[in-house]
Amino acid sequence: MKILMAASEAVPFAKTGGLADAVSALSIALAKLGHEVRIVMPRYYGIDRGKLTLLEGPMGVNLGGGEAWCAVYTGMLPGAPEQNPVPVYFIDHEGFFGREGIYGSPWEPDFLDNPQRFTFFCRAVFQVCRKIAWYPQVLHAHDWPGALAPVFLKFAERSGGFAKTLSVLTIHNLGYQGIYSKDNFYLTNLGWNVFYEGGFEDWNMMNLLKAGIRSADKLNTVSPTYARETQTQAQGFRLDGILRERAADYGGILNGIDTAVWNPQADPFLPAPYGPADMAGKAKAKEALQREFGLPPDSQVPVIGMVTRLTEQKGVGELFGPAYGSAWSICRDMKLQLVLLGTGDAWCENEVRSLASRLSNFKARIGYSEQFSHLIEGGSDFFLMPSRYEPCGLNQLYSLAYGTLPIVRNTGGLSDTVENFNQELGAGTGFMFDDLTPQAIYNTVGWAVWAYYNRRKQIEAMRLTGMKQNFSWEKSAKKYQELYEAGLENLTG
């Protein structure tokens, strides 16, 4: 199958979160299954043109208010099979993408011209195909920045090379929808009837993700539980109704782990390799982590790690909220060490810094670091992820693979990938709680720490069970393949 991914992020070129990992890893896994996969994404300022090849000639993109002209660069996705590479096409437009930041900057968290930027991007996807005379059978768009691609396919482009193209939209996070003033709708150059029929209309605003949900031939999100949760009022972010309408075409497919990057037996960021058969390297990673973060090296004390965006989604209010969060009492009352790596909301970054300055057993780095994220996954005993909601979550998967037991809220992809500790049987792969309250986080961390000191054998057994789980992208890619096949069959009847 010829598959084109339309995405705003893909590692190693641009990343703010798990979306970037998922797009590249899925593309590689599909290529390994023999499919012809290509990716289209914007060329952000940070992506070095010097390492890319310029396709000859400018490219015009149909945008309300006039054609927008851009260039297209191409490069290869690292990690794809040699005999079946994955080309990446970068849309280069100085006005839209020639600046620091993917969706925004610290001063302008959501760029004012995002409706222009991503309407332009989604329309450019079709022009790229014409330019290279390559037409996909599957156009696979991701999240709100890619959501207009299925809309354009349905209402403007389904003819010629795209006559039989299937559109798929993957929702990685329903919390971000791309809602803007409807004054921007003219940019699409679509008739006003499409504003309603196409699902753009949202309380007199324009909702890009909603339009994609209405228009894509097939929809999915990144775990079965999140697919169910998003169809309820509680977790549907106001789109539960339209998702229920599309229930027949909507399901969940779990993300996987890119084992070329996340494998404790071959991780350049760890002091020594380790695996289920020989865990000695994990103790070395723990010591290295403690030293790196300025904690007293002590093999006996449990280390709890976190790598996270510091935003409401991740439960940071319940953990770090001033006078409310439980991180302070956790560190004060329990014999443990807490280590955090993350960036995000300013209030939370400040609170984390302030707590770390007052607690001797809490160390934090505010920043983004590939190296430290690996060291935390490898060197910690437990990994804390008290998410308010979690479409899939990758960090708990990395934790499981690294023999680090996740402490998670029972929600979304966390429910589908972690099994709660059973004290009687010694079974399970982590520690779970249902209610998102500071007290529940406190109690569950306490439970894990208790087990660490009192049920060491069970803890060791759980580590091994976790490490033997199979969260491969190959498994997920086969499910996407089935989704594509089912969709194409519907389309051609």
Instruction: Name the residues that contact ligand ADP, by CB under 6 A.
Output: 17-18, 21, 307-309, 341-343, 368-370, 373, 392-395
Query: Any contact of residue 393 with ligand GLC (CB under 6 A)?
Result: yes
Q: How far is CA 289 from CA 338, 342, 442, in A?
A: 11, 16, 23
Closest CA to 219 of 249, 176, 189: 249
Q: Can you say whether the dihedral through the CA atoms of 7, 145, 258, 362 is positive or negative?
A: positive
- What residue 222 binds from ligand GLC, ligand ADP, none (CB within 5 to 8 A, per partner kind)? ligand GLC
Residue 268: how many other CB atoms lie within 10 Å: 7
Nearer to ligand GLC, 126 or 471 (CB): 471
Query: Any contact of residue 316 with ligand GLC (CB under 6 A)?
Result: no
CA atoms of 28 and 85, how far apart (whole Å): 8
Minimum CB–partner distance for residue 277 and ligand GLC (Å) = 29
Query: Any contact of residue 17 with ligand GLC (CB under 6 A)?
Result: yes
- What residue 368 binds from ligand GLC, ligand ADP, none (CB within 5 to 8 A, per partner kind)? ligand ADP
CA atoms of 481 and 493, how far apart (whole Å): 18
- What residue 229 binds from ligand ADP, ligand GLC, none (CB within 5 to 8 A, per partner kind)? none
Nearer to ligand ADP, 15 or 479 (CB): 15
Minimum CB–partner distance for residue 485 and ligand ADP (Å) = 27
Q: DSSP string spanning 87-104?
A: EEEEEE-HHHHSSS-SS-
Here the tokens at position 163 are 């006559």
Q: Which residue is nearest to ligand GLC (CB)?
A: 18
Decide: 21 and 394 in contact? Cβ < 8 Å: yes
Here the tokens at position 136 are 């996909």
Decide: 302 and 448 in contact? Cβ < 8 Å: yes
Query: Any contact of residue 377 with ligand GLC (CB under 6 A)?
Result: no
Query: Any contact of residue 391 with ligand GLC (CB under 6 A)?
Result: yes
Q: How far is CA 346 from CA 341, 350, 361, 403, 481, in A?
A: 14, 6, 23, 32, 41
Minimum CB–partner distance for residue 277 and ligand ADP (Å) = 26
Tokens 């096409």 belong to 89
Annotate 63-96 with b (16+ C-beta within 10 A) or e (fewer): beeeebebbbbebebebbeeeebbbbbbbbbeeb
Site for ligand GLC in 407-426 (CB under 6 A): 413
* Residue 410 buriedness (CB in 10 A; 0-12 / 13-18 / 19+): middle
Nearer to ligand GLC, 274 or 433 (CB): 433
Minimum CB–partner distance for residue 312 and ligand GLC (Å) = 12
**Selected binder of ligand GLC within 18, 198, 386, 438 (CB under 6 A):** 18
Minimum CB–partner distance for residue 18 and ligand ADP (Å) = 2
Nearer to ligand GLC, 336 or 414 (CB): 414
Nearer to ligand GLC, 117 or 172 (CB): 172
- Contact characters 151-190, ligand GLC, x per CB under 6 A: ---------------------xx-----------------
Minimum CB–partner distance for residue 348 and ligand GLC (Å) = 16
**Interface with ligand GLC by CB under 6 A: which range of 242-250, 264-272, 392-400, 437-445?**
392-400
Query: Any contact of residue 255 with ligand GLC (CB under 6 A)?
Result: yes
Q: Which residue is nearest to ligand ADP (CB)?
A: 18
Q: Examine residue 12 and say whether the peptide bond preceding it is cis (omega within 30 degrees of 0).
A: yes
Query: Any contact of residue 445 with ligand GLC (CB under 6 A)?
Result: no
Strands (E), 166-208: 166-171, 179-181, 201-202, 205-207
Residues binding ligand GLC (CB under 6 A): 17-19, 22, 172-173, 222, 255, 390-394, 413
